[in-house]
Structure 1
Amino acid sequence: MPTRKHNKTSSLRMRLMLGAAVTVSLFMLALFPALKQVFTVALETSIEQRLAADASALISAARIVDGQLRMPEKLPDEEFDILPARQTGMIYDNKSNLLWRSSSSKAIQLNYQPKYDGRGHEFLRGIDIDGREYFIYDVEVDLLRGKNADFSIVTMQPVSDYEVMYISLRQQLYVWLGFALLLLLGFLWLGLGWGVRSLRGLSAELDEVETGKRAALSDQHPRELLRLTRSLNRLMESERQQSERYRHSLDDLAHSLKTPLAVLQGVGEVLSVNPDNSEQVHTLQGQVSRMSQQISYQLQRASLRKSGLLRYQVKLKPLLESLLGALDKVYRDKSVVVTQNYAEELRVPVEQGALLELLGNVLENAYRLCLSQIRISASLIETGCELIIEDDVPGVPKHQRERILKRGERLDTQYPGQGIGTAVVKDIIDSYGGQLFVEDSPLGGAQFRIIFPLN
């Protein structure tokens, strides 16, 4: 029998994993801008330090001659073409008048005017007339080589020089955070698998209990589950004891009623000697027979009810072969041809005794009423396990089928001659959550179609 399919999201491990994945993903999404901001601050700090070093180099090269600023014709970086970076700097007086600019800054028309306001230094951004953005470092100098001086030393660096570095780092952040996310999810999956292993063990033990391989759950579980397993054990033991008491009580009741019924039967036989008592004897024997049938019916109904915990799977082929062999002997004079159509390994989710009683009643009626043909089919369908039993005798009239399928109707009281078999069949099907359909058969008779759910 194929295993039952479950939606993946119904797995506790999968639900926990989805929750953890969403949480970790949100955390990573929140972490990315924070890391990007940290890098941006660190990068701008390093740029500020670089521009401060350039400003210090300009200050070192500057001279005051007769109160006037003097700068060398070429800065050190301009004398050596092998240096990739050029110092881009300007010097302003305290009136914001430009006094000097490096040769590398002559092409830059920056919209920036320094303010000699005693703030010491500042680091900011500016834009030239072509729209290019620059990092600007502005430091105030009031003492140069021991002489009073009021200058603003401004050094600059294009923002575009760092865009490649910034884009590269952002891509690396994406890669490393994605890798970290996958690694973390992998560890979470393994951790959750280890965490729910005990639940799998409990599930396996419950499967063994349902199939009758185990009488109770063990105590080899985490302490958080022990209360659950012990409660389930008490429930199962209570159910077993209650079921056993129920069966014993019914047996006692049946035995206690057999003697009074036998006495009444004997009284009827004595009274039947007198022809004047024939009507009373007939009534008495009819009621005694009916009481005996009702006792048998209730005993069968009680003994064949489904357990609340056990799950059965009975192989259909050997059970049918045994049943058909017995019926062939009983009805050997009819030469009934039985066609069977089902997989050899097919199993029906019903307890063996209940399935034997169900099929016995339906097939006995089919043997008794059919002309010469019976067909038995069984298969697994989407809604469960389907059993179909057909014969070639004119079927049950449609206006009577509703009564057969109606819960609580018993054909033994509504339609004489049917006995209690159909009522027992309906009770067994109902106790297993199944469905019974009475339809027309292609053979020309009735078709009893029974569906049992697999779970």
Structure 2
Amino acid sequence: MKPLEARYRSLRLRLLAGVLAWALLSVAVAGWGIQQLFRQHILAQLQSELNIHLDQLTAQLQISDDGQVSLASPPSDPRFTHPYSGLYWQISVPAQNGRPAEQLRSRSLWDARLPVLYPYLTPGQDLRTQAPGPGGTELQLRVREVEPADGPYEDLVLSVAADQALLAEPISRFNQMLGMALGVLVLGMAFAAWMQVGYGLRPLARLRQRLADLRQGRAERIEGVFPTEVQPLVDDFNQVLHRNAQGLERARQQAGNLAHALKTPLAVMANAAAAADPALPRLITEQVDAARRQVDYHLAHARAAAAVRMTGLRSPILPLLQGLVRVMVRVHAERNLTYDLSGVADDLAFRGESQDFQEMLGNILDNAGKWARKRVRVSARSLDGELEIRVEDDGPGLSPERAEAVFERGKRADERTPGSGLGLGIVRDLADLYGGWARIETSELGGACVVVTLPAA
């Protein structure tokens, strides 16, 4: 695996990358929002200051009898007296009665003038705008049209302006402080994310150690208590380990049983061959048949064990039972038996291989046909995820001792049954593999009732 791919597959790095990406995005959006709010605040503060100066200018305005415009006292802010200080005022006086238009200006304007915006003025409402200022600077301008109560003038235009630098400087300082604060915040969030991810992934590191102990043979299962998000995985994994151990033990037993079962036919054939027994062909045929039955038994057992671990299996049982009944009718044709499947609904299905179902029910139906007098009845129902199948006959029935004995491995039913002819022993073994069971009860028809429980699909 390449280093880049290894980093990409790291859960820790992926979590950290996601957290840091969202943290950076959130901090960036928050920083931009705070910056805009502060800019609006500074601009509103500057406009408020300009409004105060404009009110002072309006209050100090006086007009003499001869039409001379002046101020009773200059504005109090000393910046109005320093050339190009960044704070300016101006009073525009229109021409009247042969008197030329003139402008009263603050000393701070020196030889510059503020623009007179007559067309844009509305009586009783200040105009706020931007305009070029002395030395090519940009100004925040506030203009008011005043209608004097006395004097020859209908209106005067009062202007107050401030350099944009008065706005930019505090914003620049604030942005620097905000950037440093947000940088510290990002670092703190990154450290917190690292700690949180490390703490959150610690159970996985502990799980990896438990798996290493398991792999190296120091433990047989994963021990310990894990968080609720991880504990189901641990429980499922332990269950898989338990099933694998059971499967391994079962495979060992099956291998031993098969070896033991084949040992006897091989010994018989070897002894007959050594003694030049004239019945050797018949003995070989019998022993090969016995060996074949054992092999078929263990192969069916192995197939069922594999099917149990498969998912998505679904075998409708009514068509399978109908096929088995057609076979049984031919096998027991001389007895003229009646097979009743009316108690089996067409929507019932077995969660397993159809061959296993046929193996089990074929043996059960064959035994029922062997002992029944006139009738065999099959019924089935689904209950709590289980499929219960009942096969009843009207024969003589079985005693409790005999009922248990027919399930012992090695007991065979009539060999006319299609398949391996292994008897009811495989029925119980296969049902057990699927997590079910099989037993024999007394039938309402008077004979035996074989009850098999299997997983329902």
Scaled by the length of structure 2, what TM-score is found? 0.51
Partner of 1:41: 40
Check the 8 A contact 2:60/2:74 in 1, yes or no. Answer: no
In the alignment, the residues of structure 2 paired with residue 105 and residue 84 of structure 1 have an alpha-carbon distance, to the nearest angstrom, of: 6
Check the 8 A contact 1:92/1:98 in 2, yes or no. Answer: yes
Asked if 1:264 is matched to 2:288, the reply is no
Matches for 1:228-239 after TM superposition, within 5 Å: 228-239=233-244
In the alignment, the residues of structure 2 paired with residue 196 and residue 49 of structure 1 have an alpha-carbon distance, to the nearest angstrom, of: 55
Shift of 1:109: 3.9
> What 5-or-longer segments of structure 1 have no aligned partner?
296-301, 303-455
Pair 1:143–1:246, CA change in 2 (3 A): farther
Shift of 1:143: 6.2
Letter in 1 for 2:185: A
CA deviation vs aligned residue, 1:206-256 (integer Å, no higher than 9, x gap) = 222222322223461222233222222211111110110001110111122
Letter in 2 for 1:39: F
Matches for 1:50-449 after TM superposition, within 5 Å: 50-66=49-65, 68-71=68-71, 76-77=76-77, 87-93=87-93, 98-114=102-118, 115-128=120-133, 131-142=136-147, 150-218=155-223, 220-271=225-276
In the alignment, the residues of structure 2 paired with residue 5 and residue 118 of structure 1 have an alpha-carbon distance, to the nearest angstrom, of: 70
Q: Secondary structure at the match of 1:243?
A: helix
Letter in 1 for 2:208: S
Letter in 1 for 2:252: R
Partner of 2:23: 24
Shift of 1:140: 3.8
Pair 1:62–1:233, CA change in 2 (3 A): same
Partner of 1:420: none
Check the 8 A contact 2:127/2:144 in 1, yes or no. Answer: yes
Instruction: Give the greater-gyration-radius structure (CA).
Output: 2
Check the 8 A contact 1:138/1:155 in 2, yes or no. Answer: yes
Pair 1:208–1:94, CA change in 2 (3 A): farther
Shift of 1:138: 1.9
In the alignment, the residues of structure 2 paired with residue 205 and residue 175 of structure 1 have an alpha-carbon distance, to the nearest angstrom, of: 45
In the alignment, the residues of structure 1 paired with residue 183 and residue 19 of structure 2 have an alpha-carbon distance, to the nearest angstrom, of: 15
Letter in 2 for 1:232: F
CA deviation vs aligned residue, 1:232-284 (integer Å, no higher than 9, x gap) = 22111111101100011101111222233333333444349xxxx9xx9xxx9
Pair 1:105–1:230, CA change in 2 (3 A): same
In the alignment, the residues of structure 2 paired with residue 47 and residue 245 of structure 1 have an alpha-carbon distance, to the nearest angstrom, of: 89
Shift of 1:135: 0.9
Q: Secondary structure at the match of 2:232?
A: helix
In the alignment, the residues of structure 1 paired with residue 95 and residue 273 of structure 2 have an alpha-carbon distance, to the nearest angstrom, of: 138
Pair 1:99–1:144, CA change in 2 (3 A): farther
Identity of aligned residues (%): 22
Q: Secondary structure at the match of 2:24?
A: helix
Letter in 1 for 2:111: A
Shift of 1:11: 2.5
Check the 8 A contact 1:95/1:116 in 2, yes or no. Answer: no
Shift of 1:72: 5.5
Shift of 1:46: 1.7
> What 5-or-longer segments of structure 2 have no aligned partner?
296-301, 303-457
Check the 8 A contact 2:210/2:222 in 1, yes or no. Answer: yes
Q: Secondary structure at the match of 1:7?
A: helix
Check the 8 A contact 1:126/1:136 in 2, yes or no. Answer: yes
Scaled by the length of structure 1, what TM-score is found? 0.52
Check the 8 A contact 1:141/1:153 in 2, yes or no. Answer: yes
Pair 1:152–1:125, CA change in 2 (3 A): same
Shift of 1:77: 4.9
Check the 8 A contact 1:219/1:229 in 2, yes or no. Answer: no
In the alignment, the residues of structure 1 paired with residue 63 and residue 105 of structure 2 have an alpha-carbon distance, to the nearest angstrom, of: 16
CA deviation vs aligned residue, 1:270-315 (integer Å, no higher than 9, x gap) = 349xxxx9xx9xxx9xxx9xx9xxx9xxxxxx9xxxxxxxxxxxxx
In the alignment, the residues of structure 2 paired with residue 175 and residue 269 of structure 1 have an alpha-carbon distance, to the nearest angstrom, of: 100
Pair 1:74–1:122, CA change in 2 (3 A): closer
Shift of 1:181: 1.2
